[in-house]
Each structure stands twice: as C-alpha cells, then as structure tokens.
Amino acid sequence: MRPIHVPAAIAAAFILASCAAQPIAPTAQRIYALDCGQNSALDQSRWSPGVNAGVPIVLSDNCYVIRHAKGVLLWDTGYPDALTGKSQTGALGTATRAKSLAAQLAEIGLKPSDVNLVAVSHTHGDHVGNVAMFAGSRILIQRAEYDWAFGAGRTAPFPADVKVEKLDGDLDVFGDGSVMILSTPGHTLGHQSLRVRLAHTGTIVLSGDAAHFRDNWENRRVPSMNTSADATRASLERIAGVLKAENGTLWINHDLPQSRSQRRSPEFYD
Ligand SMILES: [Zn+2]
C-alpha cells in the first residue's frame, strides 16, 4: 500500500478546523465570595447527630456574587446588615457580622439595584437576612420553600410584601446552561443549590445548607433539624453526581476552613 502524504499545511488547517468546531460551553464570568457573617455554635452535634456532642464549632456564612454577560446574580443574602459590628447570642450560639453586604457589594462596584437576580438556598435567617434590600430584583425561591416558610403559624423569614418568583424545580438562570439552580430538598422543604460553570475554574456547586461542613458532607450526615432525612440523602447524591460528571468542586457555605482557604471578595474566581 502506498503511504498517503498529507501536506503539513493542510494537516495543520484540518487540526485547527476541528478545534474550532469544538463547542465552547457557555460560562459565567466571575464568582465572588462575600463574608455574610459567622456563627459560633455551642454544639456541633446539632448538625452531626451523635458525633462531637458538646463540641463547639464556628461556621462561616457566605454570600456569592456571580457575574454573567446577561446580569448579576446574588446567591444568598446572609445575616442582616443590621447585625454588622454587633452580635446576637441565643441558646445555640452567637452570630456576628464583621462587614455589611452593602459595603462588600460597593467594593466590587455594585449597588443593590445593580443586582438584577437574587436566589436564596432556603429561608433560614442566616441566608435571607437582607432579602428586602433587593426588592427591585427578581428573587428566585422554590415554591415549596416559600409556601412552607410563609405558612400559617410560622414567623415570616422576610417581609411578606417582597415579591418573589416561585420555582418548581431546577432553573437555567441565564438560559445557556452556565448557571443552574438545582432543587435539593431535605434541609428544608424547598432547599436549592447552585451549579456554576466558569472558564478557568471549571464547575462549582454552591451547597446552600445541603451539607454544613466537610465532615458532614463526606459522611453524608443528616442534621437533626432537617425536614427529611431521605430527601437530604437523595439531594447529597444528586450533588455528588453533578460533581462527578463535571469534575466539579463543592463550595460548602458554612465550612469555615474551606471558606478561609478561598479567595475572598474583592478577589474572585473566573
Ligand atoms: Zn445556614
């Protein structure tokens, strides 16, 4: 058989053409991790039943700003800005906030009115403390979460006149697959997590409170206050599947060592 000689220039052009034909997955532009408070809890076993009973733990509390060509999304709003420089002590521990959310947004050039989208993982007070600051934004929350939290006999987690957009499951936020709300119930009835694709960092999943810290994530532990243990486990498996499929990284909101190891706003990941 005669060898087939392909001129080098043609071969190179072919390689370039086949590279160009590769679809480039749409990505968000940047993610910033903002300090949205800290909780010094007296007993870790509230989150890890039977494990480390009576051992204190300090939990971080993050908010995340995701910049996309089509808009700015804030994920969770943290403890209320009114707590800035103060502390609040209850039976379970002490919550503080070193810096306001508004000041940290200003540091990256944003006013609350520039944040056109807000999504909250769930309605606990360390996640919805500043929702009312974004009354002009599209606020994305699971219907199951909203209807439960604002149900009869419950204390409204934020002012009831704040308009929200109720979701029934996953949402492709910008319509290009780059930022996806994932329905991950279990911690609460309508808990959600967020999958973010970035050009250099790759895929990140923001946990919400699907897991509170690394040890709980690795051992698939279910906190005592969760609304459903079975739903929690199913949601953890769902997240694990997404991470595996995209070789992604889980950012665990309340895991202080992980939070400290990451770039903090105004630094960012892209
Ligand atoms: Zn929380």
What structural domains does the chain harbor? 25-261 (3.60.15.10)
Residues with CB under 5 A from ligand 1 (ion): 126, 209
Please give the distance, rounded to the nearest whole angstrom, from the Cα atom of residue 24 to the centre of ligand 1: 35
- pLDDT greater at residue 199 or residue 3: 199
Please give the distance, rounded to the nearest whole angstrom, from the Cα atom of residue 221 to the centre of ligand 1: 15
pLDDT value of residue 25? 87
Helix (H) or strand (E) holding 192: strand 192-198
Maximum C-alpha span of the chain: 85
pLDDT at 21 over 80: no
pLDDT value of residue 5? 53
Percent of residues, the chain, with pLDDT higher than 90: 90
Please give the distance, rounded to the nearest whole angstrom, from the Cα atom of residue 127 to the centre of ligand 1: 6
Mean pLDDT calculated for residue range 10-35: 69
pLDDT at 96 over 60: yes
**pLDDT tier, 184 (very low <50, low <70, confident <90, very high otherwise):** very high
Query: Residue 141 corresponds to which tokens in the numbers above?
Result: 């929350």
pLDDT at 8 over 90: no
Please give the distance, rounded to the nearest whole angstrom, from the Cα atom of residue 170 to the centre of ligand 1: 20
203-262 pLDDT, tens digit each = 999 999 999 999 999 999 999 999 999 999 999 999 999 999 999 999 999 999 999 999
pLDDT at 171 over 60: yes
pTM: 0.91
Please give the distance, rounded to the nearest whole angstrom, from the Cα atom of residue 112 to the centre of ligand 1: 22
**pLDDT tier, 13 (very low <50, low <70, confident <90, very high otherwise):** very low
Residue with tokens 């243990």: 229
Cβ contact 116:162 at 8 Å:
no
51-76 pLDDT, tens digit each = 999 999 999 999 999 999 999 999 99
pLDDT at 164 over 80: yes
Please give the distance, rounded to the nearest whole angstrom, from the Cα atom of residue 76 to the centre of ligand 1: 10
Q: Are strands 171-172 and 165-167 parallel, antiparallel or unpaired?
A: unpaired
CA nearest to 136, candidates 153, 114, 103, 168: 114
Helix (H) or strand (E) holding 142: strand 138-142
